[in-house]
Structure 1
Amino acid sequence: MKIVLLGYMGSGKTTVGRIVANHLNIKFLDLDAYIEEAERMSVSSIFNEKGEIYFRKKEMEYLSEIFLIENSFVLSLGGGTPCFGTNMELINEKTKNSFYLNIGIPELVTRLMKEKNHRPMISHLQDQELTEFVGKHLFERSFFYNKAHHKIKCNNNSPTEIAEIIINSLV
């Protein structure tokens, strides 16, 4: 059982992923945490010291590695993971259980405002710039997100309700 959760930053991939993994009694993996452990530095530090291109290359390598060495898992991707290289093709080739957690812009902005300083892609933005940034970014990324096998509108659902939807949709 290989389950992959994707969506924009702040969409709840990690929170929901932990609930699903716990319910199914399988391993939970967060790709960013996996990268941080392997590289021995935070995602923010990798972005700042080595750049986004280096990060995206490593992200692709570690994603491939997870599919090779792990048998059953729930994997939470970084928001940009599906949008680079052949990541989305790899995901959909290796599992039929990819889920796009679709959250509207107003809800994303509300969530991200609270954790802006911990997110390298948005930490430099003024609060009023965040809505425009998220809207533009989500528009660009939605093409890739919509390649997921399952799409879940999550705005009015709790993480537990979203986890139940995922569990009930497993192939």
Structure 2
Amino acid sequence: MKKIILAGYMASGKTTTGSLAALTLGLKHYDLDTLMERHTAKSIPQLFTEKGEVYFRKTEHELLKTILDTGDSFVLSLGGGTPCYANNHLFLRRDDVVSVYLRAGIDELVKRLQGNTAYRPQVAGQDGGTFREFVAKHLFDRSWYYYQAKHIINVDDKTPGAVVEQIIQLVS
């Protein structure tokens, strides 16, 4: 049984890499943000706006626990903040989990995020002058949780396919 969890900051490639890894390994792929949207029938920005972050994080934790407690094999792409709340980082250390931190540098994250902030409540409304500074501080605040993953893959300047190859080596 393989339970592969991908963690990392927003735009680090968790969903794209997770989908490709699952396809390559013949496993199911779950994206926690997509599951949240289906479960609540609301988009992530709507959830933050209408229900608040506390509701979002509580629901996210319950869904994560439910998925991990199944007997299934899968690849799971977490939301960027998932490991940082409700002791979710402890799930990254479970014996039945292969957890991977997709580590991207600040410049790479800023490049990937610019022009793509509307769907991301944590960075929506950040202006160009303070955007890089916000990402740097936010990443610093979350890094300890990401580093709880059992494995780290640097994704800067790598294609999703190259990252998937490294994941396959980890689970072989």
Contact 1:20 1:163 in 2 (8 A): yes
Unaligned regions of 5+ residues in structure 1, if any? Answer: none
SS of the residue 1:117 aligns to: coil
Question: Aligned in 2, Cα 1:2/1:120: closer, same or farther, shift over 3 Å?
Answer: same
Report the Cα distance in structure 1 between the residues aligned to 2:129 and 2:13, rounded to whole angstroms.
23
Alignment TM-score, normalising by the size of structure 2: 0.96
Between the two proteins, the alignment pairs up a number of residues equal to 171
Offset of residue 39 of structure 1: 0.7
Letter in 2 for 1:4: I
1:100 aligns with 2:98: no
Residue 149 (str. 1) matches residue 117 (str. 2): no
Provide the secondary structure at the position in 2 that maps to 1:59: helix
Query: Structure 2: how far apart are the matches of 1:158 and 1:114?
Result: 20
Q: Deviations over 1:14-65 (max 9, x none)?
A: 0100110001111000000001101111111010001001100111000001
Higher helix share: 1
Deviation at 1:86, TM superposition (A): 1.4
Misfit runs of 4+, over 2 Å? none
Residue aligned with 2:165, SS: helix
User: C-alpha offsets along residues 94-127 of structure 1, whole Å, 9 cap, x if unaligned?
Assistant: 5341000000000100100031112111111112
1:74 is matched by which residue type in structure 2? V
Partner of 1:62: 63
Mark the CA change 1:70 to 1:10 in structure 2 (over 3 Å): closer, same or farther.
Answer: farther
What's the CA shift string for 1:112-171, capped at 9, x where partnerless?
A: 003111211111111222101110011111101011000011112111000000011116
Please list, as runs of the form range in 1=range in 2, the aligned pairs for 1:6-155 lying within 5 A after superposition: 6-69=7-70, 71-93=72-94, 95-155=96-156
Runs (5+) with no aligned partner, structure 2: none
Identity across aligned pairs (percent)?
A: 44
**Is 1:166 matched up with 2:141?**
no
Q: TM-score, normalised by structure 1?
A: 0.96
Q: Secondary structure at the match of 1:115?
A: coil
Contact (CA 8 Å) 1:46, 1:55: kept in 2 or not? yes
Give 1:55's aligned amino acid. Answer: F
For residue 53 of structure 2, what is the amino acid of its counterpart? E
Residue identity matched to 2:18: G
CA contact (8 A) 2:27 2:74 kept: yes
